[in-house]
Chains A and B, each alone.
Chain A
């Protein structure tokens, strides 16, 4: 027997974005139902590195990041937990003069967004960060960036929304969705049918599946960032570290464990009961360990106690798909955060609530519109296939 439910706004995906959208919609008194395949904050936003970082983002993302920065400051009032959030600084490291020049250029480009970047080099850098390897020569410090515990923060958004009256349905996988001309119809197998006036696609790495259901597929791919954690060590730094040009990123939590990310894990594949479940994978582990030894030689004798991974949606330009659908009025997308959704997540939820209630957002999001891929997909087809063929490109 199918249960029927009517809601004003249906949200697919209980990560930090979907949870935050539900929370801000409830703050405005809107009836909202959030559907999550597993449990809130279990896939990408709850198992990620936990960086709460503005530095290094594309300039287009900085208005969102600035608003998110203000929301993070109110975190306990917002979601009922501090989520181990600390504004201890984000230090982006340079390994050579070219890196340093890029950090300086970024600082110049982002003036006016409140990042207050400070370049530290030479003897002062060596003194302040004596525990860093000789291979790094300078860094750009964003003093009010920091880190938090994603395992605690992300699920707390869904819970906070539920406390304000949102219907949060965990272990509800949306199996079909369409617009019947009047409203959205979502099905959770044969168990539940939901009708909603507005639909938010916050499905992370599965976002493209739902975009495709509304005829606007995008080139999103799933990525599985490789993470590791050491045993608890004497506290040497509360900074969050990044490296210009990639490699690893690292932070030490108050308990003393050092959490380090870098490289990619793997999808568990069809042999596992849950095909969308990520594994650390073997391939990137030696590279990650070697990089840790170079960047933080003092950690070489520390023990790694766990590797893990998650499932995130990645876009070719590393910017999310955020904004109204190009095909279906009442549908809004917010997915494909490309491994950098945690910090801006709370602000994205607020923007979605604005879009639902007012039709517009004070924060510029045009860059993230889904139309940018609708166009480029057509272009690719035109370039790669002679007229008259209808092969899909992926």
Chain B
């Protein structure tokens, strides 16, 4: 039984997230003789990048995960091998964290799961900066587009444009084209010169670079136009996407017909549980976001709480595997048990190496820092509460608000169903721009439970 151990001194590690970081962390703990509880929102392990389709879906892993199918298979097999050695709860929404206890909703029942140690491997979602028409049905995030393909085996449209920037842009375009969709264009906000600037650094990761170049080359060879240095202008269509207009590097407006758009600008970490657990946060310039403070091993500022994978800072699936294992070792070390120091050191060294590649990636696919100034007042920034850029700017001008939580209180931005998970990136940029300060100056939205909405009609676990 899970969560019924009432011995307060018992060692009970809990891992949130069954992606590459969570699985490797669990493996490390099991190897040390511990029996962690693992909680995951999905029905099957793998996280976002190695997401598994429902049982019975027949597409082979090579089709689902492309060149990464061996890694995906490795994570899945490791998870299978952990069966019986961990307590694994699927479709479990961890909606609150307080006083070394998690609140978890499973099948309409909320139960409390105490932990002595907590590894948060909560992953990431797409970072979205709105542009006109982004709410038109048929516009998806890049990650959402990929989930549709991997999990459900369906495409977001038949004639698709992918826009934004980041490695995922080319990967998803490639996967869609391979799966039989007509990819009408890839619109990258990064300039060719940006790609070139990151190239030297990318030589540290020849495999990754080769894959990226392969996707681009394959797309070009198959007649998919790739435009660099673009800015999306607007999505066309009312009831449904009918096209997209963009401005090219020379300032010309161009457009292409399509019935769906996949859009995203790299990723943003899911940090609400770390926030609710009381972790300290620092502003991370590379991610342009507030992230839980951590040491090289993944220890947060709260004793016994560890962060790993993209939820702790964007670094990709390979880094997530390494960081998950490293956090697991840190936990074991903190219990006073012996760990393989050489292995721990090696993991940190590899992570540092990926960190340097990440810097190069950031140069190749830079954040469009000119976004906020291009935004018209009537653009909806917060879709849950329908808050426009003009409302945010007026709030700054009329109330003297200088901080995200204050602007949230006064305008409702980030107060809707997503609780700022989707809109805070754009709102932060707009607020900072309106105040003529950097995004680090406007603070971060405080997290409140529940991490995601749940129905009022929940059953409370019977106390044993």
Contacts from A to B (Cβ < 8 Å) = 39, 42, 46-47, 151-152, 155, 159, 230-232, 255, 266, 268, 271-273, 279-282, 286, 289-290, 292-293, 299-308
- Contact residues of B between 370 and 393, Cβ < 8 Å to A: 385
A303/B417 in contact, CB under 8 A: yes
CA distance A271 to B280 in the complex (A): 10
Q: How many A-B residue pairs have CB under 8 A?
A: 79
Which A residues are CB-close (under 8 A) to B415? 306
Contact B98–A304 (Cβ < 8 Å): no
The 4 A-B residue pairs with the shortest CB-CB distance, nearest first, are A303-B453, A300-B457, A286-B460, A151-B409
Most B Cβ at <10 Å: residue of A152, A286, A305? A305
Instruction: Identify 8 new A-B residue pairs, CB closer than 8 A, beyond the known A231-B417, A305-B417, A307-B448.
Output: A42-B409, A159-B400, A230-B456, A272-B278, A293-B457, A301-B455, A301-B456, A303-B455
> What residues make up the interface of B, taking CB atoms closer than 8 Å to A?
96, 98-99, 101, 103, 110, 112, 278, 280, 302, 385, 399-400, 403, 406, 409-410, 415-417, 419, 448-450, 453-458, 460
The answer on a CB contact under 8 Å between B112 and A282 is: yes
Residues of A within 8 A of B406 (CB): 39, 42
- Find B278's partner among A42, A271, A307 (CB 8 Å cutoff): A271
Rounded to whole angstroms, the CA-CA distance of A316 and B244 in the bound complex is 64
The answer, among A282, A292, A302, A308, for a CB contact under 8 Å with B448, is: A308
**Does more than half of chain B's interface fall in helix, strand or loop, or is it mixed?**
loop
Q: How far is the CB of A227 from chain B (nearest CB, A)?
A: 10
Point out the residues of chain A lying under 8 angstroms from B278, CB to CB: 268, 271-272
- Name the A residues within 8 Å of B112 (CB-CB): 282
Q: Show 25 residue pairs from A and B whose CB-CB distance is below 8 angstroms, ordered by the A residue.
A: A151-B409, A151-B410, A159-B399, A232-B416, A272-B278, A279-B98, A280-B449, A281-B98, A282-B98, A282-B103, A286-B110, A286-B460, A293-B456, A300-B456, A301-B457, A302-B456, A303-B455, A304-B450, A304-B453, A304-B454, A305-B417, A305-B419, A305-B453, A306-B450, A307-B449
A26 to B101: give the CA distance in the assembly, Å: 50
Closest residue on chain B to residue A304 by CB atoms: B456
| Set of chain B residues within 8 Å of A289, measured between Cβ atoms | 456-458
Please pick, from B400, B409, B450, B457, the residue contacting A307 in the complex, using a CB distance under 8 A: B450
Q: Which residue of B lies closest to A292 (CB)?
A: B456
Q: How far is the CA of A151 from the CA of B406 in the complex (A)?
A: 9
Decide: B410 and A155 in contact? CB cutoff 8 A: yes
- Closest Cβ neighbor of B276 among chain A residues: A279
CB distance from B37 to the nearest CB of A (A): 18
B101→A282 contact, CB < 8 A: yes
- The residues of B that contact A307 with a CB separation of less than 8 Å are 448-450
Minimal beta-carbon separation of B62 from chain A (angstroms): 39
Q: Give Cα A39 to B408, complex, Å.
A: 13
Cα distance, A281 to B99, chains bound together (Å): 9
Q: A39-B406, A286-B110 are in contact. Are A303 and B454 (CB under 8 A)?
A: yes
| A152, B280: Cα distance in complex, Å | 29
Task: Determine how close the nearest CB of chain B comes to the CB of A163; give it in whole angstroms.
Answer: 11
With A159-B399, A289-B458, A292-B456 known as contacts, the answer to whether A306 contacts B410 (CB < 8 A) is no
- Which B residues lie within 8 Å of A155 (CB)? 399, 409-410
**CB-CB under 8 A for A271 and B302, given A155-B410, A307-B449:** yes
Taken together as a complex, chains A and B put the C-alpha atoms of A252 and B267 apart, in Å, by: 36
The smallest beta-carbon distance between B309 and chain A, in angstroms, is 24
A301 to B457, CA, bound (A): 6
Contacts of A47 in B (CB 8 A): 409
Q: How far is the CB of A191 from chain B (nearest CB, A)?
A: 18
Tell me the smallest distance from the CB of B44 to a CB of chain A, in Å.
25
For residue A153, give the distance in angstroms from its CB to the closest CB of chain B: 11
CB distance from A235 to the nearest CB of B (A): 16
CB-CB under 8 A from A39, the residues of chain B are 403, 406
Report Cα–Cα, A305/B99, bound state, in Å.
21
For A300, give the chain B residue with the smallest CB separation.
Answer: B457
**Distance in Å from the Cβ of B116 to the closest Cβ of chain A?**
16
- When C-beta atoms are compared, the residue in chain A nearest to B461 turns out to be A286
Please determine whether B454 and A152 come into contact, CB atoms closer than 8 angstroms: no
